[in-house]
Amino acid sequence: MSENFGDVFPRLRRFVPSTLLDGPWWDRLVERVGELPGWLTLNYAAFEFRLGDPAPAADYFVSVAPGRPSMEYYVHLGEAAKPDSAEAALGRVYALMNGTPSPSESSLVGWFRASMLGYDIAEVPRSRRPAPGVFLALKPQSELDEDAAGSRTPRRLAATIASAVGWEEDEEERLAVERAFAALPRTGVVDQIGAAPERGPRFIRLIVDGVKLRNVPAFLKRLKWDGSTQKVMDTLEEMRDMTPVFRLAIDVSASGVGPRLGLEMYRPRKPSNLDYWLTSGRNAWRPVVDYLEQMKWCLPEKGDGLRAFPGIERLFEEKGMSILYKGINHFKLSIEGDAVEAKAYAALAYFRLYADSEGEGGDA
């Protein structure tokens, strides 16, 4: 019998600092995603840590890729679910991404390079099992074939993410998304589009890459964002030497752009090695953690956990040896009014170095 996440993950508990995830929140995470297949969750086990919250709690993310077993798993899950369920809605969109013909909907083949499913756990009552938030990572425009380039409009992207989370169509919402795309500066691109139905009022999140620092104020003005542009610029300027790469996370609803703006902060990227962050040393993020603590956006105990998190472990198991990579992908600072909330996004990547008789040791 193949292992599920609940079987495998407890063996890795000692590699996650207890100040980041522990106690009842560990149990709740295993309860929430424990039934997912181990091969699906452990190739890339990602966490969202709230750095200003003393609770050692985390939300969990699963990475899914078109044409891979991971997406097929959710397609089959949707086929077995009630037609009006969130699982069925997600399965239908994933099927279109995989090229399954539909008599009523157009293909989404070639539009996206990956998808992330966010399972909210930290702030969700134990008795509830909400559907995951869905984030779709867009293929660069330059990599689209002629059909995809002509059909992947902002309007259809808004409709696609709404369908993926089971929402009814909203014309005003689609128009608002179109306006947000039209406001992009010349170098700006929407890298991801997502929706998290369990997180308050309805909105579509656009994660924007490629905006130059000097163009941020004009971009926010075109979006009609009513927050403090000066606060955004001061924060980006303070962190530019530590995290020179940033992305903007904006929330778009039928009434326009919401008050919360996310700043996703990254170390310099290495296009030739997209997983470079998994092998970064412990000192790579230390200046950022120190700065967040200094600004009182990160509690000292959370900072200690983040400094200890990165590393590489060799696991000697009954069937052979495995390698466990532990890394921090990025930080996010969410600005709303005078408040700033800091989060860290970190992951475990688990690779077996031996043949798996279940056939599940490959790329999910």
Q: Encode pLDDT of 170-211 as tens digits.
A: 999 999 999 999 999 999 999 999 999 888 899 999 999 999
Number of compact structural domains in the chain: 2
Task: Give the span between the Cα atoms of 116 and 343, in whole angstroms.
Answer: 17
Percentage of residues in the chain with pLDDT exceeding 90? Answer: 74
Domain of residue 277, residue span: 1-62+118-130+272-364
Whether 332 and 227 share a structural domain: no
Whether 309 and 241 share a structural domain: no
End residue of a domain, out of 266, 298, 329: 266
Q: What is the model's pLDDT at position 357?
A: 46
Q: What is the model's pLDDT at position 89?
A: 97
Q: Encode pLDDT of 10-31 as tens digits.
A: 888 899 999 999 999 999 999 9
Q: Mapping DSSP to helix (H, G, I), strand (E, B) and coil, where does residue 138 land?
A: strand
* Position 203 in a domain: yes
Whether 250 and 277 share a structural domain: no
| pLDDT range class, residue 358, cuts 50, 70, 90 | very low
Whether 354 and 276 share a structural domain: yes
End residue of a domain, out of 221, 247, 266: 266
- The token duo for 39 is 């091969």
Whether 255 and 307 share a structural domain: no
Question: Do residues 331 and 246 make contact, with C-beta atoms less than 8 angstroms apart?
Answer: no
Whether 301 and 207 share a structural domain: no
| pLDDT range class, residue 360, cuts 50, 70, 90 | very low
| pLDDT range class, residue 103, cuts 50, 70, 90 | confident
Query: Who has greater pLDDT, 217 or 275?
Result: 217
On the question of pLDDT at 100 being above 70, the answer is yes
Q: What is the model's pLDDT at position 138?
A: 97
pTM here is: 0.93
Region of poorest pLDDT, from 235-249, 261-275, 348-362 = 348-362
Whether 192 and 261 share a structural domain: yes
* Position 56 in a domain: yes
- The token duo for 326 is 């532990």
CA dihedral 293, 297, 301, 303 (to 10 degrees): -60
250, β-bridge pairs: 206, 261
Region of poorest pLDDT, from 226-230, 274-278, 322-326 = 274-278
Whether 175 and 214 share a structural domain: yes
Q: What is the model's pLDDT at position 40?
A: 86
Q: Encode pLDDT of 29-83 as tens digits.
A: 999 999 999 888 777 889 999 999 999 999 999 999 999 999 999 999 999 999 9
265, β-bridge pairs: 246, 331
Select, from the ranges 148-157, 212-221, 341-350, the one with the highest average predicted confidence (pLDDT): 212-221
Percentage of residues in the chain with pLDDT exceeding 70? Answer: 96
Average pLDDT, the chain: 92
CA dihedral 33, 47, 25, 164 (to 10 degrees): -40
End residue of a domain, out of 266, 284, 302: 266
Whether 27 and 125 share a structural domain: yes
- Residue 131: DSSP 8-state: P
Whether 210 and 332 share a structural domain: no
Whether 123 and 26 share a structural domain: yes
